[in-house]
Structure 1
C-alpha cells in the first residue's frame, strides 16, 4: 500500500517554503500532491486567462466575488507584512517537483464550486457576521497588528481556531474545511490505488491536515464523492422574499385605494416607493464610487426591480458602470496585486462589482424603510386604513357574485 505523508503549511510562511523544499529532498516522493485545483494551479504559474468584465456580468456572483477579493487581499496583506507571497509554499512544491521530474497531483476541489457552496450554505445572519469579521480583520491588519504565522501551524492553535470558526459560521466551516478535507482524502485514496508501492507527499494547509488524516485512517467515514462536487442548491429565500414584497406592496396599495382615504394618498404611497428606492439605491451606487450615470440609472429602475424577484437594481447599475468605465482585462489581476483597499477601490472592475453589491443593498434598505415609515409619512392610521380597505374589498368582491 502506498505511503502518504501529509505536510501541513501556512500559506504565507517562509518557514513553510523551506519545509516543503526539505521534505521533497529528504522524503523523495513518487508524487507531490498539492492543495490546488487546475484554475489556481494555472493562476500560480500565471497561465490562466483572466476573466473579462462580461464574464463577471454574466455570472452575476457579485457578493461572493467581492468576498473572495477581500479574503485574497487580507491574505496578501499578511504576506506582504511577513515578506512572503500567498501560496509561496505551493509554488515551491511545484518548482521542486518539476526540477526533480516528480509528477504533480492537483487534489483540491474546483475553487468555483467551493465558493458557491460556501456562499449558498450560509444564512443571511452568517453572511453578515462573516462580512463584518472580514472588515474588522482587514482594518486590524491595515493598522499594523502583527500575526504569528508559525503558531497557526501548531495543532492546539489550529484546533482552537477551527472551533471558533465553527461557532461563528458552522455552515461556512463545513463548505471551506470539512468538505475539502473529504475531497482531498478521496483524491489521495485514488492516488494510493494508482501507486500501491509509491510514496505520496501531500502539501496542504495546516488546518486541513488532521481532517484529511482522520479520513485516510477511516475511509468508511468519507461522504460520497458526488455529494462534494454538486452545484449547490439552496432554498430560494431571496425569490420568496421578493415575491412576498411584491404581494405586500400590491395589497397595501389596494387597501389604501378601497379604504376611502382619497386617491391623493394612494399616489403619495406609490411616489414614496419610487423615491425611497431610487434615492437609496442611487446614493449607495455613489458611495461605491460608481459613475453618476450608474447612479441615475439605478434611481430610475430601483422601484421596478424591487418588485421583480428575478431582477436587481445592482445588476443594471453594474452593466452601466461597466460600459462607462470599460474595465480592461488586466483589472482582474490588478485587484489581486493591490496593496491597499484604497488602491483596490480605484480599479474599474472592482467598482463594477462594488456598485452591484451596494446598489442592491440600498434597494433592500429602501424596501425595509418603506414598510416602516410609509404610514407615518402619509399621516394615516394603518390599522384603520387596512381594516377598512379589507372590508370594502370583500364587499366589492362578494358583490360581483
Structure 2
C-alpha cells in the first residue's frame, strides 16, 4: 500500500522530478533523489538496496568518463547497462553496440525520408536513419555508446557483474518497424519533432551535452509521445519497464545503472511504484 504522502507525490510526477527532489521517504525507506546541479545521477533507494542511476547521452565523451569514475568510486556488485546480450557481445567483439538512442534526432532523418516520397520500405528508411545518425561519429573521433564500454571495463576492474538490462535488439527493431508503419502519417503532420529546441550553433559537443538535461529529455519524450505514440511505446515505455524490472528484482544490494537520459524518469517512477506496492 502507498502511504498518503507518497500517493500525493506520485500524481504530479514529472514536474517535481524536473526540479530535483527527494521522493517518498516518509515511512517506507523508499526514495529517489538527485541534485539539481548534476541531473545525470540519481539515487534510487529501498530497504537494503541502492541503485546509482546514470543518465547519459550516447555521443557524449563526458558521459563515458562519468560512468567510469562513478563505478570505480562506488564499487557496486552489479552494473546494469542499456544493452541486450547480443549488443554486449557485439561491443566486446569490437562492433558498435549502441541502441537506436538519440531518437528525436533520428526521427528527424526518418521524417525527411518519408516526406521526400522516395519509396523506400520502412525497414530501409530505418536503416538509413540509423546510418545517418551514427555513421560519421567515428570519423569525428567520437565513439557512440562509449559509456557502455567504459561501464563494462570498470565493472570488470571492481569485480562487478555486468547485467544486460535491455530488450533483445532484434525484437526492438521489429517492433520499431511496425510502430513506424503505424505512426508515419501522424509524424508527417506533426511539427514537434522537427521543432525540437536543440541549439546546434555552438558545435557538436555542446549539442551532445544539451541531451543530458532532464528538461531536454522530457521535451523530446513529450514530442515523441504526441507525434509517434507507438514508437514511444516500443522505444521508451517498454524498455523502461524492462530495465526497471532488472533493477528492482536484482539481488545486488548496490548497483550502478547506465541508461540514456530519456529513460531515467520512467525507471525512477517504476522503482517507486514497485517498492511501494510490495
* Residue 166 of structure 1, CA deviation: 1.5
Is contact 1:181-1:208 (8 Å) kept? yes
- Counterpart pick for 1:105 among 134, 159, 163: 163
Match of residue 249 from structure 2:
190
Q: Once superposed, which parts of structure 1, at least 4 consecutive aligned residues long, lie more than 2 Å away?
A: 62-72, 77-83, 121-125, 127-130
What SS does the aligned partner of 1:153 have?
Answer: coil
1:71, CA displacement in angstroms? 3.5
Note the C-alpha offset of 1:185: 0.8
Name stretches of at least 5 consecutive residues in structure 2 with no aligned partner: 1-47, 96-119, 196-202
Preserved CA contact (<8 Å) 1:64 1:115: no
Change in CA separation of 1:179 and 1:125 when aligned onto 2, cut-off 3 Å: closer
**1:14 aligned partner:** 61
Which whole-Å CA distance do the structure 1 matches of 2:168 and 2:176 have between them?
Answer: 12
1:70 paired with 2:70, answer no
Name 2:87's counterpart in structure 1.
40
Distance across 1 between alignment mates of 2:263 and 2:94: 27
Q: Which has the larger radius of gyration?
A: 1
1:57 maps to what in 2? none
Deviations 1:324-344 (A, max 9, x none): xxxxxxxxxxxxxxxxxxxxx
Asked if 2 retains the 8 angstrom alpha-carbon contact of 1:12 and 1:75, the reply is no
Deviation at 1:36, TM superposition (A): 0.4
Cross-structure match for 2:227? 168
2:207 paired with 1:148: yes
Check 1:124–1:106 CA distance in 2 against 1; reply closer, same or farther (3 A cut).
closer
Report the alpha carbon displacement of residue 217 of structure 1 after superposing the two structures with TM. Answer: 0.8
Shift of 1:189: 1.5
TM-score, normalised to structure 2's length? 0.62
Any unmatched runs of 5+ in structure 1? 49-61, 138-144, 223-401
How far off its partner does 1:170 sit? 1.1
Contact 2:53 2:257 in 1 (8 A): yes
Q: How many residues align?
A: 196
Contact 1:64–1:116 (CA<8 Å) still a contact in 2?
Answer: no
Offset of 1:127 from its aligned partner?
Answer: 6.3
Which residue in the other structure is 1:287 paired with? none
Residue number among 134, 147, 152 corresponding to 1:94 in the alignment: 152
Secondary structure in 2 aligned to 1:36?
coil
Residue 91 of structure 1 and its aligned partner are, at CA, apart by: 0.6
What root-mean-square deviation, in Å, do the aligned CA atoms of Structure 1 and Structure 2 show? 3.1
Give the Cα separation in 2 of the matches to 1:221 and 1:77: 43
